[in-house]
Structure 1
Amino acid sequence: MNNGTASRRSDDSDTGMAKLTNEVISIEREHDDEGDVDITEDTMMEEDINRAPDGGYGWFIVFGSMLVHLIIGGLERSSGILFLKFDEKFQQSAVATAWVLSLSSGLRLTLGPVCSALCNRYSHRSVAISGSILVFISMIATALSPDLTFTYFSYGFLGGVGRLFAYAPSVIIVGEYFNKKRGVAVGMATCGVGFGSLFFPTMIEMFFKVYGYFGSFLLLAGVMLNLAISGCLFRPLWLHTQMAANQVRGRQLKDLESGTELLEQKSNTNKPKQAENRLSVSSRKSKTKTKKFIDLSLLKDFRFLCFCVAILLFTASFQIAFVFIPPYAKSKGMSDLQASYAVSIAGIFDGIGRILSGIVLDLKHVKKYRIYLYNIVMFFIGLTSFIVPNIDTFGPLSVMCGVYGLLVGAYMSQKSVIIVDILGVDNLSSSFGLLICFQGIGMFIGPPIAGAMKDVSGHFGGGFYLGGSSMLCGGLILTAANALHYFRKPKPDL
């Protein structure tokens, strides 16, 4: 009896060992097939997680992007101060002087797709650091500039390309590191523009008062090198995921040393290989997607095309205001410091507008009306542009600059959100590239036209009226597109 029981136990044990051995062999066969990478729902989910960590080191990416926005945004919001300094040094017409600032701002946007392609070919980090070096050289060359023509090259072309290389990677990489929290991350990063608008105009005015033209641009060159520090934080996503996979492998090797069971050992030790395979598949997929960065067929969407035209007209108006507010304030008898304060106030409320608009337009009951509210904001900015040239004292001008900054911040920060509402998230990369090209055209044409009007009329009010009219035209174009879309949209059956 005992012998029979022992025999059955032995048979059960042998059967169990045989099953375990078969399972281990099957696992080995599954994982030894390097060419076969099964992408199930779970692996696809893990790929999404690998592509967008949604936190962790991603917050250092946001911090680096915020610094880039602070420096570049602050410098561009100081265009009015720099316009006055270039005008004092070179004594040229307003339209000729305005072209220096338009060239640098326009190139930063118009060549955006080219910079995105370089980021795909190399890395966000290397492109951003290269950009900081170019901006540094640009400021040194501008400090030594003998005439306005050379300044077109030094500050306009070289500075514009350098700022492009530093700015575009800081926008793209935040979108790569975040998925579910992308709105919050982008909002925090772009808030740097508001901080830069607060500090830079006053700081640059103080530089010129104490150190003069040459010394101020030398100091600005040193400030621009901080863009390289921000660029160093832009760890490539493939490197981040590889480091994460190595950490997982290290923890699993420790588990193996602690004497886990054979089946768990075989499955766990192959998980890093699976992760690496998934990462390689994910990287191949992402490379395939980024090859077609610009899809011109998107312009066939009438609503999107109208949005691009509206952004072009908006940018022309927006750039006119920030270039000509300081000289307009001086023409009304205000001091240089008060003129810089006006720009700083607009910058403070710009940052507030970016945060508030993200919160309000993301509310559940507001989302479906988001593009219509966005359209209304455009009309209010146009009306504000008509009011500014009728103000003669610093107090009311400060209030209107605050209102203007609040509305502009709301409008600028929600561009990518509106693109997704129109075309969907799958077309975001290509559509954003097209949009910033239109925006760059607006940067080019706005200030020179307003400068020409000032040369003809002798005052700056015409530029603001031109900007307001441009903004209202853009609003009407977008309104027509929204109305057409609304009436064409199939109505639900009652």
Structure 2
Amino acid sequence: MKREGYLQEPPDGGWGWLIVIGGMYCLAMWGGITRCYSVFFSPLMSDFEADYGSVAWLNGMFQAVYGICTVVGPLLMQKFERRPMCLISSFLCGISCFLASFCQQLWAVQVLMAMLVGAGMGIISISVFTTTTRYFKKRLHMANQLLCLGISAGPLLVCPGYQYLITTYGWRGACRIVAGLFLNMTVASALLRPIKLMSDLETPEHLPSTEKYKDKHSSESEEKSKPKRLFDLTSLDAEIVGSQSLGLYTPPVARRNYDVNDNITKSHNRKDEKPISLSSNSSNKLSNSTDENCGTKFKNFCIKYDLTLFTQKRFYLYTLSWTTFAAAFFSASTYIIPYGKSVAGLTEFEASTLVSAFAGGEIFSRIAYAFLFDKIPLKFRILYVSALYAVFSIAILVFPFIRGYIGALICCACIGALGGGTDGIFSAFIAEIFSVQQYAFVFGYSNIITHSTGTATTVLIGVAVDRLQNLSVPFYIGFGAAVTSSILVFLLHKTVMKIRKEKVLLEADDVFLPLKS
């Protein structure tokens, strides 16, 4: 089937590289918020006479709303194009941050700088990743790694930039300048040109073959114009009940299907069939018809919002493996500086350079994966990540036993290099494990689960450190989470390979059946 304007394959470049460049800027701003918003804490505490727990909600509220909007984003994408959504979200971020500089209450600052900015960034991030996936196939991992490079490289410039602006102009002046940086995301959003792929017209493998997967450009008139050859039992029963209520019809023995060309009235003259009265069963048949309609509506609702993902084993393995890895990664990175100063005996400057080494290893891994990961055969990619997480867990476990500055510096660089580029890999795995059509929903649903679990994990680690008075605890917890993630990724590899083998066998027999995982 050919449609004008639809491409057989993603272009693997071209305009897609401009989208990657614009997306890097957007994700650099996102990385600056998540990792550098804390530089606003001290001036906010001084200006509003608040404690650390009160101003810390600035980051927590941002993460919460961001996670929610990554789920809302796919729903909005079904009705609106990604480019205008991102343009509006960019204006929302800029205007909200600008208005926050005039607020005289801390809660108003948090609503504007955290909640509204988080809502805008949630829509922008999922739109950037989804559009990039549609432009690349063979170079998808390269595009995603370059895209995520903004998350790592951005804070290296944004954090000292925020601090300089606050020192020079105060936090209110800094907010107004940062608002201008947010408005620059409108230029990047304008680059998100939509693209039509032939895969949009195909039936996704997670839907039954009997279902019609229609994109928004298809017309329902074709379906209505098709001649119907059979009456189904439900529609025929409705006619029978209506005629029975008027006393005009005595139904025959119920059969499963009635052909249009059959003379139904002949069945009344058969001697071996007895008329059946529907007076006692009409209400039951009407209720059955209503139940079937409700079931159809629920089924269509599940398909529209891709709730079928929650019936797939691979979705849970994918989400849980990424969630446990994120818990390990951030539990280690969050407590590097406190551990270096309190336990390893490092100075404040030396402890801060541990984070720089961590970020340097993260940037190195992204560049390396951008050029090398696509060369790994498809069937070994998930298995490679499983082995990588196993080594990553060992690096986290070793760190608490290191006391020297050079050794801690090297270990932090290794932790960053081993775990830094896997967010780009996992975002590309969505298209490889599931499908391009499912990308937005898998990204959104898994993201909200990961953010919710991550928030709870952060609180639990803080409670454990306070009670045990031991800063090595986060690294032990990170080790356990990383090992768990490695096992889950291995199980994901086994599940995906099984599905792919079944699909190959079905294609060889020229038979299409839904693959249930």
Normalised by the length of structure 1, the TM-score is 0.68
Question: Counterparts of 1:387 and 1:285 in 2: how far apart (Å)?
Answer: 57
For the residue of structure 2 that corresponds to 1:414, the secondary structure is helix
What percent of counterpart residues are identical? Answer: 21
Are 1:342 and 2:357 matched, yes or no? no
Are 1:419 and 2:430 matched, yes or no? yes
Residue in structure 2 matched with residue 444 of structure 1 by the alignment: 455
Distance 1:489 1:224, change over 3 A: closer
Distance 1:82 1:303, change over 3 A: farther
Show CA shifts across 1:422-460 (max 9, x none).
445564443333222222223432333333344445564
Question: Counterparts of 2:219 and 2:153 in 1: how far apart (Å)?
Answer: 34
Uncovered stretches (5+) of structure 1, i.e. residues with no partner: 1-38, 239-280
Which of 141, 146, 154 pairs up with 1:183? 141
Are 1:465 and 2:398 matched, yes or no? no
Uncovered stretches (5+) of structure 2, i.e. residues with no partner: 197-213, 221-299, 505-517
Are 1:284 and 2:192 matched, yes or no? no
Report how far residue 128 of structure 1 moved: 1.7
Structure with the largest fraction of helix: 1
Residue identity in the other structure for 2:24: M
Is the 2:433–2:496 Cα contact (8 Å) retained in structure 1? no
Question: Counterparts of 1:75 and 1:57 in 2: how far apart (Å)?
Answer: 28
Are 1:196 and 2:154 matched, yes or no? yes
Matched pairs, number: 406
Question: Counterparts of 1:292 and 1:368 in 2: how far apart (Å)?
Answer: 29
Is the 2:133–2:428 Cα contact (8 Å) retained in structure 1? no
Report how far residue 374 of structure 1 moved: 0.9
Residue in structure 2 matched with residue 265 of structure 1 by the alignment: none
Residue in structure 1 matched with residue 313 of structure 2 by the alignment: 302
Which of 83, 89, 93 pairs up with 1:135? 93
Residue in structure 2 matched with residue 374 of structure 1 by the alignment: 385
Distance 1:468 1:425, change over 3 A: same
Which of 62, 83, 86 pairs up with 1:125? 83
Residue identity in the other structure for 1:316: A
Show CA shifts across 1:216-274 (max 9, x none).
44433332222222223223447xxxxxxxxxxxxxxxxxxxxxxxxxxxxxxxxxxxx
Report how far residue 334 of structure 1 moved: 5.5
CA RMSD of aligned residues (A): 4.1
Are 1:108 and 2:66 matched, yes or no? yes
Are 1:435 and 2:446 matched, yes or no? yes
Question: Counterparts of 1:338 and 1:220 in 2: how far apart (Å)?
Answer: 29
Residue in structure 2 matched with residue 272 of structure 1 by the alignment: none
Is the 1:328–1:460 Cα contact (8 Å) retained in structure 2? yes
Pairing 1:202-351 to 2, within 5 Å after superposition: 202-237=160-195, 284=217, 292=303, 294-329=305-340, 331=342, 340-351=352-363
For the residue of structure 1 that corresponds to 2:14, the secondary structure is coil
Show CA shifts across 1:156-210 (max 9, x none).
3223112112222221222233345433333332222232133223333444444
Pairing 1:69-108 to 2, within 5 Å after superposition: 69-78=27-36, 92=51, 98-108=56-66
Report how far residue 132 of structure 1 moved: 2.3
Question: Counterparts of 2:353 and 2:104 in 1: how far apart (Å)?
Answer: 30
Is the 1:199–1:344 Cα contact (8 Å) retained in structure 2? no
Residue in structure 2 matched with residue 65 of structure 1 by the alignment: 23
For the residue of structure 1 that corresponds to 2:375, the secondary structure is coil
Distance 1:141 1:388, change over 3 A: farther
For the residue of structure 1 that corresponds to 2:421, the secondary structure is helix
Question: Counterparts of 2:496 and 2:188 in 1: how far apart (Å)?
Answer: 42
Normalised by the length of structure 2, the TM-score is 0.65
Report how far residue 64 of structure 1 moved: 0.9
Q: Which has the higher relative contact order, 1 or 2, with Cα contacts under 8 A spaced 6 or more apart?
A: 1
Is the 1:68–1:227 Cα contact (8 Å) retained in structure 2? yes
For the residue of structure 2 that corresponds to 1:284, the secondary structure is coil
Question: Counterparts of 1:142 and 1:388 in 2: how far apart (Å)?
Answer: 41
Show CA shifts across 1:451-481 (max 9, x none).
3344445564433433333333333344455
Show CA shifts across 1:474-493 (max 9, x none).
3334445556777999799x
Question: Counterparts of 1:336 and 1:87 in 2: how far apart (Å)?
Answer: 22
Report how far residue 390 of structure 1 moved: 4.6
